Chains A and B, each alone.
Chain A
Amino acid sequence: MQAYLDHAATTPMRPESLAAMLPYLTEHFGNPSGSHAVARRARSAVDDARDEVAQCLGCGPGEVVFTSGGTEADNLAVLGVGASGRGTSMCSAVEHHAVGNTCAALGATVVPVDRSGVVDLDALAGALGPGVGLVSVMLVNNEVGSVQPLAEVDALVRELAPRALLHTDAVAAVGWLDVAALGAVADLVSVSAHKFGGPKGVGALVVRDRARLAPVLHGGAQERGRRPGTQDVAGIVGMAAALRVATAERDEAVARVGRLRDRLADGLTASIDGVGETAVRVGAGGVHDRSAKVASSCHLRIAGVDQEELLVLLDDEGVCASAGAACASGALEASHVLMAMGFAADDAKSAVRLSLGYTTDDGEIDHVLEVVPKVVERLRT
C-alpha cells in the first residue's frame, strides 16, 4: 500500500494536461515566434493557453508572463522590480526560498510572523515607508499551509508605501483558494504548473499593466520582452489545461480533501501523545480550528521524534511525506518557517508535512492513520 502525501512538493499530472501537451511534443512542434503555418499553430496554442491562464488568474492575457516555474516567476518579480529603481524590498519571514533568498540578495527587510505563521501586520506597518519599492507576501505558506491576509497587507502598503508594488507567491494556493479574487490586490502573482497537475518546468508571473519591471534575462522579444527565450509550448498548454481543471474542481476538492485532511489530523492528534498541529487554533474542547489554512495541509510536530528518522520509516511503509526544505546535499534543513514562527530547533526537527491532493483517497488516509502511530512508537522506544 502506498500513500502519497507530498502533494505540496508536487502532485500527479492531470490526464487532461498530459493529453493537451502531447500534440505539441510531436506533430505541432513549431517555434511560436515564427511566421509560417507550423509556427502559427504553436503560436495559436500559446495564445489560447494565455487566455485560459489569464481567465483563471483574473488578469488580462497581456498580463501573463510564462516562465520556467515558480522560482523564476518569483525571481522575475523581486529582481525585476528591484532593478527598476522603485525602492527597497521587503518580504515575510516565511516566504519560499525562491522569494526569501532573492530578497536577501537585495538586502531586503524581513517582516516577522506570528505563531500561526501569519505575517505580523503591526511589524509590517512599522517597516513600511515611502522608500519601499516591493513588498512580497505569499498567499499560502507552502510548509504549514497558513493563509496570509493579503487584502490587509495591501491596505497597509497602499497607505504607507504608495510607490511599492505588491507581489504574492501564489504557488501553494492554486487549486485550494480563489487566486483570481484573493490575488486581485497584488501587482505581481507567481504560480507553478506542477503544483496543480501540470508539468514541471513551467509557471507564470502575472504582471499587471500598472506594474513596471525590468527583465532579468536578456534576449529575444518573447513575452513582450519581459521573459525572452522560446516558449515551452507543450508545457504552457499543459499548464493551462491543468489550471482549467483545478479551477473548475476547486470547490469540490476543497470540500472533499478538507474532509480527508480533518480525518487525518484529528486521527493522528488523537492517537499519538505529544503531537502539535501547526498553524491551527485550538478552541474549547480541544477542537482544532483549521479555517486559517488551506484544505490540503496537515503539518504536525511529533515530540521526541526526529523527522529524518520518521521519513525513512514512513517511506519503508509506503508513506511519502516530507519535512521542510533540503539543502544542496539533500540533507534536511531546520525549517526557516518554523523557526520564524518561534518554534525551537528541536520542535522544528520533529516536524512532518503531510500534504494532500486531488488524488488523495480514504484508503491512503486509513493507511497513514495506521502506520504513523506504529512508527512513532518504534522511534520513541
Chain B
Amino acid sequence: MKVRVLVAMSGGVDSSVAAAILAQAGHDVEGATLKLWGGPSDSGCCSVADVEDARRVARQLGIDHHVFNFTDAFEAKVVTPYVADHAEGRTPNPCIECNRSIKFGLLLERALRLGFDALATGHHARVVVDHDSGAPRLRRGADSEKDQSYVLSMLTGRELGKVVLPVGDLTKAEVRARAGELRLGTAQKPDSQDVCFIHSTRGRRGFLAERMPLHGAELVEASSGEVVGTVAAGELVTVGQRRGLGVAVDGRRRYALTVDARARRITVGPSDQAVGTRVALDRAGWVGPALARGDRALAQTSAHGAATACTWEADAVVFDEPQPLVAPGQTVALYDAADPDAVVGAAVATVAADPVVAAVVAPSTVR
C-alpha cells in the first residue's frame, strides 16, 4: 500500500537512507529538517551544513524537502527542563525529551495535519504489529550495537501506530553500504554524538553556567557523615559518578550516591555502596497494556547499557541483582521479560530511595 510519509531528515546517514528506502518502495515521500537550536553548536543536528546535507539528499532522491522552525518549542520543552533538572540535581535525558515532545509530538502532529499518513525517522529500532492484538509494538533494531529503542521507549501505541522506522532492520554497516550504493553525500558522515545543543569546547558546564547559577557542594561520606571534599558545581554531579569527584577514603575512590543540589550536599561512598536493587520511578508510559505490580521485566537504564532482570513495583523497579545506581532524571526503558527485544514502556527515575543506600545516608538527604 502506498502511503504519504514525512521523513524527519537530520542530515545524517540513517535518516538519509530511511528516506531512500521509502522513496524506492514507491511511497509518496517528503523530507523535513527541523531547526531546533538557534544558539552555537558543533555536534548538533541542526547546523546549516546539516540542513544542506539533508536538502541535497532529498534532491538526489527527487523528493520535496521542508525546513521547519521548532526553536521556540525546543527551548521550552527540552532546553528549559534540561536546565531546571540540573538545578534540582537530576540528570536529564534531553534527547528522549526531544523525541517525546518535538519529533514524535509536535512534528508528528504537524505531519498528520499536513495530510501525511505517517512520520518516519532514521532511528535503529523497529515498529512491529502484534499478531494477536494488531497493536503496534516497538522492538530493538537489528544492529544491537546501534539499537535506539531506549530513546524511543516512551512512545505509546498511539504514536507508534503512525511511526515508520525504515532502517531498523539494517545494521549500521548496511545503512552505510546502502547510502554508498546510492551515492548519497551523507554515506560517510560520522555519527552524531552527545547533546546537540551543547558546544563541545564549552561543554555542559559552560552551557549551564550561562543559564543558571552553579554552586559548590560538600562531599559527605555516607557512612560517617564526615565532609571529605568539595566540588565546584554540585549541579553537574550525577548519581553514580566517580570521575571528577577527586576524593578517596582509605585509598578507595568514592562514588556519588545522592545529589541534593539545594542543600549543596553530595553523599559519597565506595563502589560497593554505589549499587542498588530498587529504582524509584514516575512518569511511566506504556506501549500497550501497563505492567501490573509484580510483573517481571527487563530494565535498561542508559542508551547503550544492558537490560537486566527486574520486577515492576508500580512506583519502582526492583532488580534481581544489585545494579549501578541510576541517577534521578534518567529514563528506565522496560522490555518484555518473555520477549526481550520488545519495549513495554518507560519511566523516569526519581530520587533514589534504595533502602540499602538510604540506610547509610544521613537522614537530611533522604526525601
Contact = CB atoms under 8 A, between A and B. Distances in A.
Interface of A: 306, 308-309, 312-313, 316, 326-334, 345, 378-379
A109 to B, nearest CB: 25
A334 to B, nearest CB: 8
Contact of A327 (B35, B72, B110, B114): B35
Nearest to A311: B66
B114 A331 contact: no
Would you call the interface of chain A mostly helix, strand, loop, or mixed?
A: mixed
A313 B66 CA distance: 12
Contacts of B55: 330
B331 interface: no
Contacts, number: 39
B48 A328 contact: yes
Contacts of B114: 309, 312-313
Contacts of A309: 110, 113-114
A378 B67 contact: no
Interface of B: 33, 35, 46-48, 51, 55, 66-69, 71-72, 110, 113-115
A334 B47 CA distance: 18
Contacts of B33: 329
Contacts of A345: 72
B35 A378 contact: no
A331 B72 contact: no
Given A312-B114, A378-B113, A332 B69 contact: yes
A316 B4 CA distance: 13
Nearest to A312: B114
A308 B69 contact: yes
Given A327-B35, A328-B48, A333 B69 contact: yes
A308 B71 CA distance: 13
Contact of B68 (A308, A327, A378, A379): A308
A378 B110 CA distance: 12
The 3 closest A-B pairs by CB, nearest first: A331-B69, A331-B35, A330-B67
24 contacts: A306-B110, A308-B66, A308-B69, A308-B110, A309-B110, A309-B114, A312-B66, A313-B115, A316-B115, A327-B35, A329-B47, A329-B48, A329-B67, A330-B55, A330-B67, A331-B35, A331-B51, A331-B69, A331-B71, A332-B69, A333-B69, A334-B72, A345-B72, A378-B113
Contacts of B110: 306, 308-309
Contacts of A313: 114-115
Given A309-B110, A312-B66, A329 B72 contact: no
B113 A331 contact: no
Contacts of A333: 69
Contacts of B69: 308, 327, 331-333
Nearest to A330: B67
A306 B111 CA distance: 13
A40 to B, nearest CB: 44
